[in-house]
Amino acid sequence: MPKLNILLVDGLRAGRTIGTVVPATLPGHCATVDVQAIVDEAKGYVHHDVRTGRLSVVSTAGEDPIAGFKVRHQEIDREHLKYEYEFQDNATIDETIMVAADQTELEQVLSRWTDDFSKFYFGEGWMGLFW
């Protein structure tokens, strides 16, 4: 099974989103996957430094505040893409949200849609539709 790059994992654990474009299941459609860390609010929070724009996960309980990872897969009809960075309302025809408890489970979940983890980048998956 493929492994996520450690820089991406570190970024997730710091509160950043990763994403990629994946193969669509229907002709004329595009699909994306996004991943975000789930922070246990009893153990920490995501801090956004407004000066630098950087995110960081802060532990308040002396424990790892990352409770898992949220994975969002979307499939969109290309006709619903108006222009860069804006989708028309109701554009998503298929959306799946899954939760992975740890990195191993995350990699298993991601393998449902892609076996090339080198294509993940920081940011939401839909950004790759316009590159």
Chunked into runs of 10 residues, the chain (131 residues) has average pLDDT values of 92 94 89 94 93 90 93 84 56 80 96 94 83 64
Indicate whether 51 belongs to any domain: no
The DSSP code for 88 is P
What local confidence, expressed as pLDDT, does residue 86 receive?
Answer: 55
Indicate whether 131 belongs to any domain: no
Q: Greatest CA separation found in the chain?
A: 49
The total domain count for the chain is 1
Q: Residue type at 117? A: F
pTM of the model: 0.86
Indicate whether 54 belongs to any domain: no
What local confidence, expressed as pLDDT, does residue 79 receive?
Answer: 75
What local confidence, expressed as pLDDT, does residue 82 receive?
Answer: 60
What local confidence, expressed as pLDDT, does residue 102 receive?
Answer: 95
Indicate whether 56 belongs to any domain: no
What local confidence, expressed as pLDDT, does residue 119 receive?
Answer: 94
What local confidence, expressed as pLDDT, does residue 25 receive?
Answer: 87
Indicate whether 112 belongs to any domain: yes
Indicate whether 22 belongs to any domain: yes
- Paired tokens of 96: 């799946």
Residues of the domain holding 108: 6-41+68-117
Contacts of 7 (CB under 8 A, 6+ apart): none
Indicate whether 110 belongs to any domain: yes
What local confidence, expressed as pLDDT, does residue 90 receive?
Answer: 56
- Paired tokens of 131: 């590159």
Indicate whether 25 belongs to any domain: yes
